[in-house]
């Protein structure tokens, strides 16, 4: 259950990052509210999951999921550029998170 909560929290991390971008420097109130709510949910889920999971793999998974999803959303919907290097780098993030968990202490 802790891994499920952590993964969902990683999705909320991506949501708050995108909301922060769309808030335009905290000048758009609905996006600011979205940022605050999704950040609270994301951090609460991370905190709950870390009660049962090792800190390193849990934090790496949370940030990796959030970073990768934020980058994908940026490329697909926000007009960020797409390149082979970016796609390879996203693959490396995912590989790194998986590697940390396979290295032990993550389950």
Name every residue whose Cβ is closer than 8 Å to that of residue 1 and which is 6 or more positions away in sequence: none
- The per-residue pLDDT for 98 is 87
- The per-residue pLDDT for 105 is 56
pLDDT tens profile 10-68:
999 999 999 999 999 999 999 999 999 999 999 999 999 999 999 988 999 999 999 99
- The per-residue pLDDT for 21 is 97
Count CA within 13 A, CB hemisphere, residue 89: 10
Q: Coil, helix or strand for 51?
A: coil
The answer to whether the CB of 70 falls within 8 A of the CB of 17 is: yes
What kind and span of H or E run contains 27? none
Where are the domains positioned within the chain?
A: 2-102
Q: Lowest mean pLDDT of 40-54, 67-81, 87-101, name the range.
A: 87-101
98-104 average pLDDT score: 82
């Amino acid at each position: 259950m802790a891994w499920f909560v952590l993964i969902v929290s990683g999705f909320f991390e991506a949501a708050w990052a995108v909301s922060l971008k769309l808030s335009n420097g905290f000048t758009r109130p609905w996006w600011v509210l979205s940022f605050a709510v999704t950040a609270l949910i994301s951090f609460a889920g991370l905190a709950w999951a870390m009660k049962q999971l090792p800190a390193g793999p849990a934090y790496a998974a949370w940030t990796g999921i959030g970073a990768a999803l934020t980058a994908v959303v940026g490329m697909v919907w926000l007009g960020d550029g797409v390149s082979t290097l970016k796609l390879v780098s996203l693959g490396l993030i995912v590989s790194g998170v998986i590697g940390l968990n396979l290295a032990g202490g993550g389950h």
